[in-house]
Structure formats: C-alpha cells, structure tokens
C-alpha cells in the first residue's frame, strides 16, 4: 500500500454509499457505491444540490435541523431518484463535521432493496475485507486527524483478531457506540470482546470461527451484552485470511433492523428448539473437517434416546420438547470445548469429537451416561432416560461424511439390541468389505458408462520466472447420487478389478482434448502431466499405443508428460525400464511422483530415463515441524540436479513453503498456495480473460 493513500481511496472501497455536503446541500463528494446506487457518474454529481436527487425534499431540511441540533441524525429511510426515474429506497445516517469555520455533513447511505444489498455484499465483501486487511490497517494507525474523524463517524465496527489466540488486534471507534466500552478498553484487554458475547452464543461464535474456511467470507449473527447490560444483536461478516493468520470483520448493530429474512438465514443452520447446529450445519462441518484435516482422525457419535416416542405419545410434544432442550444442555456440558454437537433430527444427536482414541471415547460415553442418570423434570414430573450410541472414526471407517453417519447408525442399532445405555463401535466384516468393494466398483462402472469422470487441472509454476509451466491432470468422479467419490477410494478398486485401464484411456482422451483447446489460446509452451498406474505401465504395447494416439490426434509429444510412482516402477523394473525408454525416445517427458516415500534407490534413479523428481508433499507440509525434512528436501533437490533432472515440489500450501523452496532452487512448484485444482472450464475462462490463475501474493 502507498503511504500517501488518501481518505477518498478508503471511502471508495466501502460497500455503503457515502456523500459529503455543505450547509446548502451541495455535494462535495460521492463515493463509488453511491454513484452506482442512483445511476449517475461521480463527475456529474459533485456540485449538484442534494435536493435534485431526493424524492421528498422536506427530508433534507428536517434532517439538517436535527443534525445541527443534536450533532447527528438517527437512521431514517430516505427515497432517492435513480437516473432512470425509479425510486431507490435507502436508510441513511448523517453526522456534522466542523473543520475550522467550515461545516460539512457526512452521510452514510445503505440500500434497503434486499436483492441489491445481497448482490452488492457478495460482489464486494471479499474485495473490501482483503483491502482493509492489507491497506486500511496502516491508515487506521496514522496520525491523520481527518481520517480518524471520518472513521469515527462510521457506524460499523472494523476489526481483526488473531486466528490462533483469538486476541483482538485492532478495532475502530465505533465499538464504543455498539458495546459501550471505548476503543482503548478493547485494545488493552484483547479478550474483552469474547466476554461480552451472550453466554448462550459463545459456543456458536467459537464454532463459526473454527469452521470458517480459509480464504472465504461468511456472515454470523449473535447476541452481546452492552456495558449497560442491554442485550443487542450483531451481524458480522468475517473473512479468514490464511496468509496473515487473521479473522477480519465488519460488525454492525442489527437489533432494531433485524428482518424476518435474517432470521430465516440464521435458522437455516440451527435447530430452533434446542439452538444446536442442525443437519445442514453438521454436513458443512463434516465436509470442512474432511477437506482440511489432511487425514487427521476424529470420532462421530450418533446418540438416540431410547423409547422417546412413548413420552411424546403419552405426555405430548410440549413435554417432549422441554426434555430435548435439557438433553441438548447436558450434551453441551459433557463435550470438550472444540467438539461439535448437532441435533440430527427427532431424538437423535450427533457429536464430533477431536479425540479419536477408542479408550478415551469409551470414557466419554461413560461420563455421558452419568449426565443422563439424573431425572429430566418437566411440570414436576420426573423422567428417566437412557440412550444408545453408535461410534465411527474418520478415516478408519469412512472417508465421506454420509458414510460415517450411516455406519454410526448401524452401530447405534447394534447398541440398542444390547439394552439400555450402551455404546458400540462400528466394525466391518468380510461380507461388508465385499459389499463396499462392489458398491465402489458399481460407481466406477457408472462413471465409465455415463462418462462421469472429469479431469481437474492444477497449474505447475516455474520458480525462476514465476510463470505457468504446465498442468497436472487430476481425476475426479462426481457421481450424481453419491457426490464426489474420493480418488483414494475408487482408484484402488479400479486397479484391483482392471478398470484402471479404461480409466487411463479416458484420462488420456480428456487430457488431449484439453491440450487441443488450449494450444490456440496460449503462445508459450506448456504440458499436461497425467498419472500412469502400474497396470498401464506393464501392458505390453502401452508405450507404442500412447505414442500412436498422440500421432493420430496430431499432438506433439512435448505437450504430454507422464507421472508414475516409485512402486509402479519397482513392481517390474525390467518392463518399466523398457516402456519408459520407448516413451523417452518418442519425446515424452517422465516424472517420478511421490519421491521419498518408496524405495528411493540410487541404482534405479541412475538407470531410468527420468526427467523430473516430484518431492512428496508429506515432506513439504512438515518442513517447519520436522527439522530433518528440510535437509531431506535439500538433499533430494541436489541429487536430482546432479543427475540432470528437474525438481518439482507438491504440497506448497503456505508462503513459508514457497519462500523456502524458491531459495533451495526447486525448479517447479505446485500446491494450494499457488492454485487449487480447477475444472477445465475454469482454467479456460481465466486464460481467455487473461486473468492470473495462480496466487500472486508473496510472489
């Protein structure tokens, strides 16, 4: 950010309309949001009288009188005239600013049209938050009195907190109006903001932060206690900035303006009876944990109340509802701070526990039974409840959230068959293993028959010039009924039953289709790398058929690169050597994938025609957790260069990874820090738009 950034640069990035008037109502400034709101260009607005833009001119005079008398106006609805003649309904607040002898009126205008507001927030929220995280913090700390005065007139709280400690690092003056404590109180006590959250909402807010996907923004609504103990509703749009390790947010008081649609949005993910997360929120939680856990295990417990239907049938649903509320309270008391609890439906609840030790899970279930021993009392009537719990573990029992729940349900019914207050761990049998295999096999066959398999492409970046070098093609199976089937699940099945050969043909075809589409769009050379399985490599005519296929489609061999694992090579090194030699002679480049996790024999490295060593991401992800891995990565890079090979590092997920590998002369970088795997249509869209398709920050 430039140190000389002006006040107007800041105002033009705010999502709400902002204008400044003199005492006569002449417009001195209008930000981009306001000009967009009424359809006029900024250059035409400055110098106009505000009366020419109002549907009711009396509003101006009444507002000026109130502001002159009280220093500011309350939020009030005001109708503006759009350029096309339509009425734009807004809510505005006005403040008077005196600067020497001049009087200025600072007006904050928010569009009340729900659709426009929603579209505007979706379009500008990420840009706003990113800008504030990188640009506004410097301005907020400056001594510029005019900027501080303007920021002090904004009703929204602008803040950011540390993602690890949850300590407040910055907040503007608006916090005093909303919380009742001045800015210094919050900055001197970085935990004060959490202490003011309503006790019943603290777990909700904590869970929200923990499940907020890095790089994305989301809105949450919760209650706080004002310094005068008044209860207020706040709405916060929060962005998780993974590089800065910050949660960045804008918070406003919606106590008086909370609408019915806001309530519906909030309740979409929470059960209105118990206020626990509902099934939809559970699904998001599972998807988030599975996507970002990198194999970290956790336990899923499905709890069902025994014979609860009898209470509803005999005592009525009002009594049953009160019992469910108390059950929810006891579940929250039993779980640990970072565990997750949801009402799955009816009298079923799901808990996600971070501790995946079966012994500790057993202790937890025993403690839970103790919590349920005390009677549930409603209308002076005591009810004694028992429960049954089914337990599954990720990734031991399933890789997909739906399967975890399904297996837990199976275990829960097994627990019911054993009596009251029982818990059972899900276990597989040979028959079930066969059933699962056949199920995945049918999904693979569906994928081949109905052409469901799809390639995603992850860019490979040349570290020396920081330009696109090529793409790795990654196979996906989006099944219409099963959702995305993980490659780790279907690849092993396909390799076992031989379907991997048909899948390999599909991968080659789609990769060539992509090359043909991309060649006219890109003047610089590039390649697409495809993964080859051991079964493909050991087919007698594999190399010849691959080269013939490229020739038939008139695709030069320089556009294709193959990647294979050490285990695929070592399964039969004689056949592998012959096949690779033929491919090399035909102009195909060869990469050895996941290097360092298999045999890593110097003998075969020297004798095989390998162009590139790909360092396995397990070494990259732990560069700064395991000291030896930094030395191993350096050694691998040096070894490859000595042997005349290039080096690719996959798993580059942070700026620290990037900087380390750049300085160690690793040739090519691949990972989420640069770009996630994208579908073909998205890659082509970015290239046609001449948009960057890998992260530029830190480069």
pLDDT digits (tens, 9 = 90+) for 172-188: 888 888 898 888 888 88
Entry pTM: 0.42
CATH number at residue 28: 3.30.450.20
Q: In terms of residue numbers, what domain contains 334?
A: 279-427
42 and 87, same domain (yes or no): yes
What pLDDT shows up at residue 1? Answer: 41
What pLDDT shows up at residue 326? Answer: 94
CATH number at residue 315: 3.30.70.270
CA distance 20 to 30: 7
pLDDT range class, residue 147, cuts 50, 70, 90? low
303 and 422, same domain (yes or no): yes
CA distance 414 to 420: 11
For residue 39, tell me if it sits in a domain: yes
592 and 467, same domain (yes or no): yes
CATH number at residue 499: 3.20.20.450
Instruction: Please give the mean pLDDT across all residues of the chain.
Output: 84
Q: What is the SS3 assignment for 350?
A: strand
217 and 325, same domain (yes or no): no
- The number of folded domains in the chain is 4
Of 536, 671, 540, 658, the closest CA to residue 617 belongs to 671
Residue 5 has pLDDT above 50, yes or no: no
304 within 8 A of 327, measured Cβ to Cβ: no
What pLDDT shows up at residue 477? Answer: 92
Residue 589 has pLDDT above 60, yes or no: yes
pLDDT range class, residue 554, cuts 50, 70, 90? very high
Hey, what are 485's tokens? Answer: 């089937």
For residue 544, tell me if it sits in a domain: yes
28 within 8 A of 142, measured Cβ to Cβ: no
For residue 438, tell me if it sits in a domain: no
Hey, what are 141's tokens? Answer: 């700390």
Task: Tell me which of 602 and 566 has the higher pLDDT.
Answer: 566
What pLDDT shows up at residue 282? Answer: 94
Of 42, 77, 112, which one is at a domain's C-terminal end? 112
412 and 467, same domain (yes or no): no
pLDDT range class, residue 257, cuts 50, 70, 90? low
For residue 603, tell me if it sits in a domain: yes
pLDDT in tens, 193-216: 888 999 999 988 988 988 889 988
Strand partners, 474: 456
400 and 291, same domain (yes or no): yes
What pLDDT shows up at residue 666? Answer: 92
297 and 404, same domain (yes or no): yes
Of 330, 370, 372, the closest CA to residue 351 belongs to 330
pLDDT in tens, 646-684: 999 999 999 999 999 998 889 999 999 999 999 999 998
User: Could you write out the three-class secondary structure of 467-498?
Assistant: EEEEEEEEEEEEECCCEEECHHHHHHHHHHHC
CA distance 111 to 232: 22
Percent of the chain whose pLDDT exceeds 70:
86
What pLDDT shows up at residue 640? Answer: 86
pLDDT range class, residue 57, cuts 50, 70, 90? confident
Residue 588 has pLDDT above 90, yes or no: yes
539 and 654, same domain (yes or no): yes
What pLDDT shows up at residue 525? Answer: 92
Question: Residues 346-355: what's their mean pLDDT?
Answer: 93
Helix (H) / strand (E) element for 678: namely: strand 678-679
604 and 574, same domain (yes or no): yes
Of 79, 112, 145, which one is at a domain's C-terminal end? 112
CA distance 132 to 129: 5
Query: % helix / strand / coil in the chain, to the nearest 5?
Result: 45, 25, 30
259 and 287, same domain (yes or no): no
What pLDDT shows up at residue 152? Answer: 61
For residue 300, tell me if it sits in a domain: yes
Backbone angles phi, psi at 50, to 5 degrees: -60, -25
Q: Where are the beta strands (DSSP E) in 306-453?
A: 340-345, 348-353, 376-378, 381-383, 387-394, 422-425
165 and 212, same domain (yes or no): yes
User: Could you write out the three-class secondary structure of 80-120?
Assistant: EECCCCCEEEEEEEEEEEEECCEEEEEEEEEECCHHHHHHH
Strand partners, 238: 218, 249
552 and 680, same domain (yes or no): yes
For residue 159, tell me if it sits in a domain: yes
For residue 211, tell me if it sits in a domain: yes
Of 267, 292, 322, which one is at a domain's C-terminal end? 267
Residue 696 has pLDDT above 50, yes or no: no
Hey, what are 469's tokens? Answer: 């070098």
Residue 144 has pLDDT above 70, yes or no: no
pLDDT range class, residue 309, cuts 50, 70, 90? confident
For residue 449, tell me if it sits in a domain: no
């Amino acid at each position: 950010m430039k140190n000389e950034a002006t006040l107007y640069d800041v105002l033009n990035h705010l999502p709400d309309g902002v204008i400044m008037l003199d005492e006569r109502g002449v417009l001195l400034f209008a930000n981009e949001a306001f000009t967009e709101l009424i359809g006029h260009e900024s250059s035409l607005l400055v110098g106009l009288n505000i009366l020419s833009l109002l549907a009711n001119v009396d509003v101006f005079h009444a507002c000026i009188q109130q502001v002159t008398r009280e220093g500011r106006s309350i939020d009030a609805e005001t109708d503006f005239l759009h350029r096309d003649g339509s009425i734009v309904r807004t809510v505005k607040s006005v403040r008077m600013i005196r600067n020497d002898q001049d009087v200025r009126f600072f007006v904050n205008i928010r569009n009340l049209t729900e659709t426009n507001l929603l579209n505007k927030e979706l379009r500008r929220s990420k840009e706003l938050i990113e800008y504030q995280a990188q640009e506004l913090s410097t301005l907020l700390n400056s001594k510029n009195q005019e900027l501080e005065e303007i920021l002090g007139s904004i009703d929204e709280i602008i803040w950011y907190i540390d993602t690890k400690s949850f300590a407040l690092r910055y907040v503007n003056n608006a916090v005093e109006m909303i919380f009742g404590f001045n800015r210094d109180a919050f900055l001197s006590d970085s935990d004060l903001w959490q202490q003011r959250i309503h006790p019943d909402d603290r777990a909700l807010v904590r869970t929200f932060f923990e499940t907020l996907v890095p790089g994305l923004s989301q809105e949450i609504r919760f209650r706080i206690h004002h310094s005068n103990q008044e209860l207020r509703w706040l709405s916060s749009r929060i962005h998780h900035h993974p590089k800065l390790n910050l949660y960045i947010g804008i918070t406003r008081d919606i106590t008086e303006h909370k609408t019915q649609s806001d309530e519906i949005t909030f309740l979409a993910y929470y059960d209105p009876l118990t206020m626990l997360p509902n099934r939809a929120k559970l699904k998001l939680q599972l998807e988030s944990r599975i996507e970002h856990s990198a194999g970290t295990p956790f336990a899923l417990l499905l709890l069902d109340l025994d014979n609860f239907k009898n209470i509803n049938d005999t005592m009525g649903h009002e009594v049953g509802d009160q019992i469910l509320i108390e059950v929810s309270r006891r579940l929250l008391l039993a779980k640990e701070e970072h565990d997750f609890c949801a009402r799955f439906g009816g009298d079923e609840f799901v808990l996600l526990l971070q501790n995946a030790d079966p012994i500790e899970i057993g202790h937890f279930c025993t403690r839970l039974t103790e919590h349920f021993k005390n009677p549930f009392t409603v209308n002076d009537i005591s009810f004694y409840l028992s429960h049954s719990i089914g337990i599954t573990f990720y990734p031991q029992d399933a890789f997909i959230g739906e399967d975890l729940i399904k297996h837990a349900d199976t275990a829960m019914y097994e627990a019911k068959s054993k009596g009251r207050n029982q818990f059972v761990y899900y276990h597989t049998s040979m028959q079930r293993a066969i059933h699962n295999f056949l199920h995945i096999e049918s999904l693979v066959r569906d994928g081949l028959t109905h052409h469901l398999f799809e390639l995603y492409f992850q860019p490979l970046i040349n570290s020396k010039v920081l330009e696109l070098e090529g793409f790795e093609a990654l196979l996906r199976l989006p099944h219409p009924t099963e959702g995305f089937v993980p490659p780790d699940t279907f690849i092993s099945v396909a390799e076992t039953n031989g379907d991997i050969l048909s899948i390999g043909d599909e991968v080659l075809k789609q990769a060539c289709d992509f090359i043909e589409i991309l060649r006219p769009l890109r003047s610089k050379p590039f390649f697409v790398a495809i993964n080859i399985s051991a079964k493909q490599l050991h087919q007698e005519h594999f190399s010849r058929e691959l080269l013939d296929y490229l020739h038939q489609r008139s695709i030069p061999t320089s556009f294709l690169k193959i990647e294979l694992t050490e285990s695929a090579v070592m399964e039969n090194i004689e056949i592998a050597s012959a096949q690779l030699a033929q491919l090399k002679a035909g102009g195909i480049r060869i990469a050895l994938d996941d290097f360092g996790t298999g045999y890593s024999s110097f003998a075969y490295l020297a004798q095989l025609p390998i162009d590139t060593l790909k360092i396995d991401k397990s070494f990259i992800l732990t560069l700064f957790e395991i000291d030896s891995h930094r030395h191993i990565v350096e050694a691998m890079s040096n070894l490859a260069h000595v042997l005349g090979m290039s080096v690719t590092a996959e798993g580059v997920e942070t700026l620290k990874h990037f900087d380390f590998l750049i300085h160690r002369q690793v040739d090519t970088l691949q990972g989420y820090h640069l770009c996630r795997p994208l579908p073909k249509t998205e890659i082509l869209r970015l290239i046609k738009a001449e948009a960057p398709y890998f992260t530029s920050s830190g480069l």
